[in-house]
Amino acid sequence: MPMISLLEHTRTFNDSIAIISANKDYRYTDLHERSDQIAAHLLGDSQDLHEEPIAFLIDPSFEYTASQWGIWKAGGIAVPLCVLHPEEAMAHVLDDTDCLRVIASRPHIATLYDLCQRMNITLIDYGSLSAESLQRPLPDINPERRAMILYTSGTTSLPKGVVSSHKNIESQITALIEAWEWSGYDHILNVLPLHHVHGIINVLSCALWSGGCCQFLPRFNAREVWHIFEEGRVNLFMAVPTIYFKLIREWNEADPVTQQSWSQACRSFRLMVSGSAALPVPVLEEWKNISGQVLLERYGMTEIGMGLSNPYNGERRPGHVGQPLPGVQIRLVDEQYHDVQDGQAGEILVRGPGVFKEYWKKEEATKEGFTEDGWFKTGDIAVFQHSYYKILGRNSVDIIKSGGYKISALEIEDILRKHEQIEDCAVIGIEDLEWGEIVSAALVVKRDPVEIEELKTWLSKSLPSYKIPRYYIQIADLPRNTLGKVTKNELKKYFNG
């Protein structure tokens, strides 16, 4: 049966365990059988979905994976929704993709019901999808076709859809498999959300492509992670720095016998990776003391997959992100897009088969995202020194990274300005060892001071919890430069003072 190569070769893994989800083992045969059924349902009478965007709202699980594969097998574009998003944020994704069908698992049906009615979208209950075996051909899918849209915050207010083709995804996966020596013996624990590349590509897809096993914990919980480590089946772990920080805290709070048992459990891991945000050197060092593992730090982005990585075999240099991954080309350039010399700071440009196809329905933004000769402009600033790249920061103060999530200050400011008591505002990230940055807001109010708890409740109608500012100040005026632009670096001092 012709099928996209991403999934075809995994049929040979047959009875190996692909997924552990809700304490149940699922084999590769189970995953193929269920995703074939979902594909058949989505296809109905048609031969091919021809890149129809199909959204799905399902916690990280077997059901999530079977839906993603089912959409791909039927020729659709997989659009994973964030289980933490309020209705308004989901409405943006559904509206922007012109999505006509959404698959949801039971706990999320109620969340989507009214929204789908209003938007005239068919809501498919995952549990009601027929379990009859499939007796029909699946479409043959050209690898250049669109496979997935992930929404990412940028320097525009609302998140943009990053479109990756099957070929992009395959390149992103195979680069990591080669660099980090994945094999069918690998068993990884996923604690990450599955609407971003870190969880989708680095964890889930690499495991399945290799014939390994992905075990799910639907939401991160430090104690549960330690318990799963203690069971001794997991040999790989990948997470954002905040998660390592929280695991260290949990370890520090445990009694000495438990500490010893948890540390012992880490000795049998073959690899632990950190990424999505800068790994503070003290976190790397403390983790090494506790676990005996030197975290491998790597650098990536929704638009490119992973770009740079410390070596699997070789020196993992603290505070650095290593060298380009297989197939990835990297340049550092100045503001005129001329290459800078080694040792000088420059913006990271990326080229390679893993780089995304386009921003969904945003031709202008796509064009602006690349140089004329096809290099993607990341907006991240780095330096190449002594054979290793080091990330120095970003070229925009409007992008915040908190808990590994990328957050647009402009999106939050636009929402805050709609509040009846707020005249003006500025949102910034305040450095923090646990979260990387903490979202913080300076408010210029119209009349009386704003009641902050009420404001947070009001914001939660539009924003997920991780985007809601934690720190607030209320001031008479925002600091501005001679052109009238808010000087956000200056504003940071108001919070620290």
Which residues have C-beta within 8 Å of that of residue 451, sequence separation ≥ 6? none
243 lies in the site for ligand MLC, by CB under 6 A: yes
- Of 242, 173, 260, 168, the closest CA to residue 438 belongs to 242
Stretch that binds ligand AMP, among 228-236, 295-303, 367-375, 450-458 (CB under 6 A): 295-303
- Of 341, 306, 352, 53, the closest CA to residue 197 belongs to 306
Residues making up the chain, counted from first to last = 497
301 lies in the site for ligand MLC, by CB under 6 A: yes
Q: Which C-beta is closer to ligand MLC: that of 123 or that of 441? A: 441
Among 394, 411, 463, 468, binds ligand AMP (CB under 6 A): 394
242 lies in the site for ligand MLC, by CB under 6 A: yes
441 near 426, Cβ under 8 Å?
Answer: yes
406 lies in the site for ligand AMP, by CB under 6 A: yes
Sign of the CA dihedral 8, 9, 15, 21?
Answer: negative
353 near 171, Cβ under 8 Å?
Answer: yes
316 binds, among ligand MLC, ligand AMP, none (CB under 5 to 8 A by kind): none
CA distance readout (Å), 407 to 247, 263, 467: 24, 34, 7
400 near 429, Cβ under 8 Å?
Answer: yes
Can you name the residues that pair with 473 across neighbouring β-strands? 442
Among 177, 192, 203, 279, binds ligand MLC (CB under 6 A): 192
309 lies in the site for ligand MLC, by CB under 6 A: no
Q: Give me Rg for the CA atoms of the chain.
A: 23
Scan residues 459-488 and list those touching ligand AMP (CB under 6 A).
Answer: none
Stretch that binds ligand AMP, among 263-271, 273-281, 367-375, 410-418 (CB under 6 A): 273-281
Among 76, 275, 305, 354, binds ligand AMP (CB under 6 A): 275
Q: In whole angstroms, how close is the CB of 300 to ligand AMP at the nearest point?
A: 5
Stretch that binds ligand MLC, among 32-40, 172-180, 193-201, 417-425 (CB under 6 A): 193-201
451 near 400, Cβ under 8 Å?
Answer: no
Stretch that binds ligand AMP, among 18-26, 206-214, 253-261, 293-301 (CB under 6 A): 293-301
Sign of the CA dihedral 318, 436, 240, 95?
Answer: negative
Among 160, 167, 196, 351, binds ligand MLC (CB under 6 A): 196
275 lies in the site for ligand MLC, by CB under 6 A: yes
Q: In whole angstroms, how close is the CB of 208 to ligand MLC at the nearest point?
A: 18
Can you name the residues that pair with 305 across neighbouring β-strands? 301
242 binds, among ligand MLC, ligand AMP, none (CB under 5 to 8 A by kind): ligand MLC
Q: In whole angstroms, how close is the CB of 301 to ligand MLC at the nearest point?
A: 5
429 lies in the site for ligand MLC, by CB under 6 A: no
Helix, strand or coil for residue 255? coil
283 lies in the site for ligand MLC, by CB under 6 A: no
226 lies in the site for ligand MLC, by CB under 6 A: no
380 binds, among ligand MLC, ligand AMP, none (CB under 5 to 8 A by kind): ligand AMP
297 binds, among ligand MLC, ligand AMP, none (CB under 5 to 8 A by kind): ligand AMP
- The Cβ of residue 214 has, within 10 Å, a number of other Cβ atoms equal to 26
Q: In whole angstroms, how close is the CB of 80 to ligand AMP at the nearest point?
A: 14
Scan residues 194-223 and list those touching ligand AMP (CB under 6 A).
Answer: 196
394 binds, among ligand MLC, ligand AMP, none (CB under 5 to 8 A by kind): ligand AMP
435 lies in the site for ligand MLC, by CB under 6 A: yes
Residue type, 310: N
Q: Cα(401)–Cα(425) distance, rounded to whole angstroms? A: 19
148 lies in the site for ligand AMP, by CB under 6 A: no
Stretch that binds ligand MLC, among 63-71, 196-204, 260-268, 335-343 (CB under 6 A): 196-204
384 near 332, Cβ under 8 Å?
Answer: yes
CA distance readout (Å), 34 to 9, 52, 99, 190, 368: 17, 20, 23, 21, 41
- DSSP, residue by residue, 464-480: -GGGS-SEEEE-SS--B
**Beta strand pairing call for 323-324 and 388-394:** unpaired
Helix, strand or coil for residue 67? helix
> 222-233 burial string, b = 16+ CB within 10 Å, else e?
beebbebbeeee
Residue type, 206: C
Scan residues 394-423 and list those touching ligand MLC (CB under 6 A).
Answer: 402-405
Among 302, 309, 323, 402, binds ligand AMP (CB under 6 A): 302
Q: In whole angstroms, how close is the CB of 451 to ligand MLC at the nearest point?
A: 18
Q: Cα(359)–Cα(151) distance, rounded to whole angstroms? A: 9
Going by the DSSP 8-state scheme, the letter that residue 339 receives in this structure is B
Among 37, 293, 378, 462, binds ligand AMP (CB under 6 A): 378
- Of 202, 262, 190, 272, the closest CA to residue 232 belongs to 262
Q: Cα(8)–Cα(355) distance, rounded to whole angstroms? A: 23
220 lies in the site for ligand MLC, by CB under 6 A: yes
Q: In whole angstroms, how close is the CB of 295 to ligand MLC at the nearest point?
A: 14
Residues contributing to the site for ligand AMP (CB under 6 A) = 152, 196, 275-278, 297, 299-302, 321, 378, 380, 391, 394, 401, 406
Provide the binding-site residues for ligand MLC, judged by CB under 6 A. Answer: 192-193, 196-199, 219-220, 240, 242-243, 275-276, 300-302, 402-405, 435, 438, 465-466, 470
